[in-house]
Amino acid sequence: MMTAQTGTLFIVATPIGNLKDMTDRAQDILKGADLIACEDSRHTGMLLKHFDIRTKMISFHDHSHAGKTDRILSELLAGKHVALVSDAGTPLISDPGFPLVRDAIQRGIRVEGIPGPCAAINALVLSGFACEPFSFFGFLPPKDKKRRDWLNELVDEKRTLVFYESPYRLLKTLQDIADIFGDRRMIVAREMTKKFEEVIRGSAKSALNHFEGKKILGEIVIVIEGVLRKVRHE
The 10s digit of each residue's pLDDT in 37-48 is 999 999 999 999
pLDDT above 70 (res 188): yes
Q: How far apart are CA 132 and CA 130, in angstroms?
A: 6
Task: Give domain limits for the chain.
Answer: 8-114, 119-224
Write the secondary structure of the chain as one string of H (helix), E (strand) and C (coil): CCCCCCCEEEEECECCCCHHHCCHHHHHHHHHCCEEEECCHHHHHHHHHHCCCCCCEEECCCCCCHHHHHHHHHHHHCCCCEEEECCCECCCCCCCCHHHHHHHHHCCCEEEEECCCCHHHHHHHHHCCCCCCEEEEEECCCCHHHHHHHHHHHCCCCCEEEEEECCCCHHHHHHHHHHHHCCCCEEEEECCCCCCCEEEEECHHHHHHHHCCCCCCCCEEEEECCCCCCCCCC
Q: Which of 96, 120, 117 has the alpha carbon at shortest distance from 22?
A: 117
Q: Does the pLDDT at position 232 exceed 70? A: no
More confident residue, 229 or 162: 162
Q: Is 3.30.950.10 the CATH number for 119-224?
A: yes
The percentage of residues in the chain with a pLDDT greater than 70, rounded to a whole number, is 94
Closest residue by Cα to residue 59 from 80, 35, 77, 81: 35
Q: What is the pLDDT of residue 233?
A: 44
88-121 pLDDT per residue, tens: 999 999 988 999 999 999 999 999 999 999 999 9
* Mean pLDDT across the chain: 93
pLDDT of residue 3: 47
Judge whether residue 153 has pLDDT over 70.
yes
Question: Is the pLDDT assigned to residue 4 strictly greater than 90?
Answer: no
pLDDT at 88: 94
User: What pLDDT, on the 0 to 100 scale, is given for residue 63?
Assistant: 64
Residue 52 has pLDDT above 80, yes or no: yes
**pLDDT(212) > 70:** yes
Share of the chain above pLDDT 90, in %: 88
Cα-trace Rg, the chain: 20
When pLDDT is averaged across residues 187-195 and rounded to a whole number, the result is 96
Distance between CA atoms of residues 222 and 33, nearest Å? 35
Which fold does the domain 8-114 belong to in CATH? Cobalt-precorrin-4 Transmethylase; domain 1 (3.40.1010)
